[in-house]
Amino acid sequence: MSVSAQAAVRRGVSPLRVVLAILWRDAVVTWRDIISVLAQVVLQPLVMLFIFVGVLGRLAYVDPSYDDVLLPGVVAMSGFVAALQAVALPLMMEFGYTKEIEDRLLAPVPISLVGLEKVLAAALRALFAAAVTLPAGMLIVQDATFRVDGLPLLVLSVLLGGWAAGAIGLIIGTLLPPSKVGIMFALIIAPMLFTGGTQYPWPSLGKLPWFQVLTALNPMTYASEGVRAALEPQVPHIEPWISMVVLTGSCVVLTAIGMVSFRRRSLT
C-alpha cells in the first residue's frame, strides 16, 4: 500500500469518520433490502389505520374524528418499530450466528461507539419510516391537510422516539440470544406497541389511572404525543416540551445502558 495510506491509518482516524463509515454500510444494506424494510416497518401501521379508520370508521363503529388521533399515533409507531427492528433483530443474529459484526468491532474506535452507531442508524430509519407512513396514511384517511408549522416538532418527536427505540433495541439485541426471538416479540415488542399512546391520547386516560401510569413508562407514548401535538394540536396532548424532555432523558439513560450492554456482549 502506498505510504500515504499507511500514514493515514497509523495517524489514527477520527471516531466520527469511522462511525460515518459504519453508518454508510448500514445505509447500503438497508437500501439493498429496501422493499422488505418497507414491508416490515410501514405495512403494519398502515393496516392498523385502514382497519380502524377505513373499515370500522365507514361502518360507523368508530367516530370519524378518530383519524385525528390514530394517524399521528401510527406515524409515531412506524418510526418507533422501524428503529427497534433495525437494531434488535440484526444484532441478535450478528452476535449469535453470523458474527458479521466482528469486522466493525475491530475498527479503531472505542467499541461502544459501534453500538452508538446502531442507535443513530435506528433514529434515521425512524425518520424514513415516518416519512413514508405519513403520506400513505393521509391517503388512507383521505385527509390532505398537513400542518407545516408542526414540522419541526414532528421531526424531533420521530427522531427522539426512534433514538429511544434504537437504544431499547440495543439492549434487547445484546442481552437476548437468537433463540429468544419469539419471546422478544411476545413479551416485549407487542406490549410496547399497545402501551405507546398510538391508539389513544394520553390525557384522555384519566379514567384509567393505572393504565395511564403504565403508558407513562413507555417512551413511545411521548413520541406519539409529540407527533399528535405537531399534526393535530386540537386533540388533547401532553405539553410538547414535557414530551421532548422526557424523551431526551429516556434517550440518554437507555443509550448509556445499551452502550454498556453492547460492550459487554462484544468482549469476552
Partner 1 sequence: MPGSQTRKAVKVSKVDDSAVAIDALVKRYPGAPANAVDELFLEVRPGEIFGLLGPNGAGKSTTIGILTTRVIPTGGTATVLGVDVVAHPVAARRLLGVVPQVNNLDRSLNAWQNLVFHAAYHGVPRALRKARATELMESFGLTGRGRDSVNTYSGGMAQRLLIARALMHDPRVLFLDEPTTGLDPQARLFVWDRIRELRAAGVTIVLTTHDMDEAADLSDRVGIIDHGKLLALDTVHALTRGLEGKSMLDITIARLPGPAARELPDVLALPDVPALPDLLELPDVPLGLLELPDVLAGVDGVERVERVESAPAVRGGPGGAPPFGPPRPAAAPAGPATGETRFRLYVSRDPAAVLGPVAQLLARRGCPITDVQIGEPSLEDVFIALTGRSLR
Measured from the CB of residue 1, what is the shortest distance to partner 1 in angstroms?
Answer: 4
- Give me the least distance between CB of 12 and partner 1, in Å please: 6
Please say which residue, 61 or 97, places its beta carbon nearer to partner 1. Answer: 97
Nearer to partner 1 among residue 63 and residue 102 (C-beta): 102
Closest CA to 239 of 226, 227, 252, 251: 226
Indicate the residue among 104 and 228 with the shorter CB distance to partner 1. 104
Choose between 35 and 106: whose C-beta lies nearer to partner 1.
Answer: 106
- Among residues 161, 175, 87, which one has the least CA distance to residue 126? 161
Distance CA 187, CA 216 (A): 18
Q: How far apart are CA 89 and CA 181, in angstroms?
A: 8
Least spacing, CB of residue 143 vs partner 1, in Å: 38
Task: Compute how many other C-beta atoms are within 10 angstroms of the C-beta atom of residue 116.
Answer: 22
CB of 174 to partner 1, least distance (A): 15
> Which stretches of the chain bind partner 1, using CB under 8 A?
1-2, 4-6, 8-10, 12-14, 17-18, 21-22, 24-25, 28-29, 32, 98-100, 102-111, 266-268
* Min CB(27)–partner 1 separation in Å: 11
Comparing CB distances to partner 1, the nearer of 216 and 260 is 260
237 φ, ψ to 5°?
-155, 160
Nearest CA among 201, 213, 217 for reference residue 249 = 217
**For the residues of 88-102, what is the DSSP string, one character each?**
HHHHHHIIIII-TTH
The amino acid occupying position 161 is G
